[in-house]
Amino acid sequence: MAASNGGDRKAMPLLGPKEKSELEKMIYERLVAHWNAHGSSGLLSPGVCIVLDPGGATIMSSQPADALAAVEIRTLFTALCHLSADGPGSMPRDSLDSLATEATSSLAAQVNRIVPD
């Protein structure tokens, strides 16, 4: 019998529901801390992203090349609703919960596309 190429195996997600829930809490905490320190304009500035690496989630001003996953905050729907043509805009703190949910979905999808050899 020939060796399987993996096509008949069901891929296991690297981030399941429990891990995604933990990641969402971590991202929410990072968003709140960043919002408290820099305000909403600090989150909505161009290039600011949530980066996932082996150490966890971090908010950075630019995306490093070696990140497991990253999403620019301005590209998430909740953030897009608060952008302004005149500048970064303003986002209320109560929007951070939905922003964390969207960021988690994006990051988890990127991580779960990683297929082990």
The tens place of each residue's pLDDT in the chain, 117 residues long, gives 444 444 545 555 677 788 889 999 999 999 999 999 998 888 888 999 999 988 899 999 988 888 899 999 998 988 888 776 555 667 888 999 999 999 999 999 998 886 565
Question: Domain residues for 74?
Answer: 17-111
Query: Is there a domain that residue 117 lies in?
Result: no
For the chain, how many helices (H) and strands (E)?
3, 3
Query: Is there a domain that residue 5 lies in?
Result: no
Q: Is 53 helix (H, G, I), strand (E, B) or coil?
A: strand
Widest CA span in the chain? 65
Query: Is there a domain that residue 45 lies in?
Result: yes
Query: Number of structural domains, the chain?
Result: 1
pTM of structure: 0.80
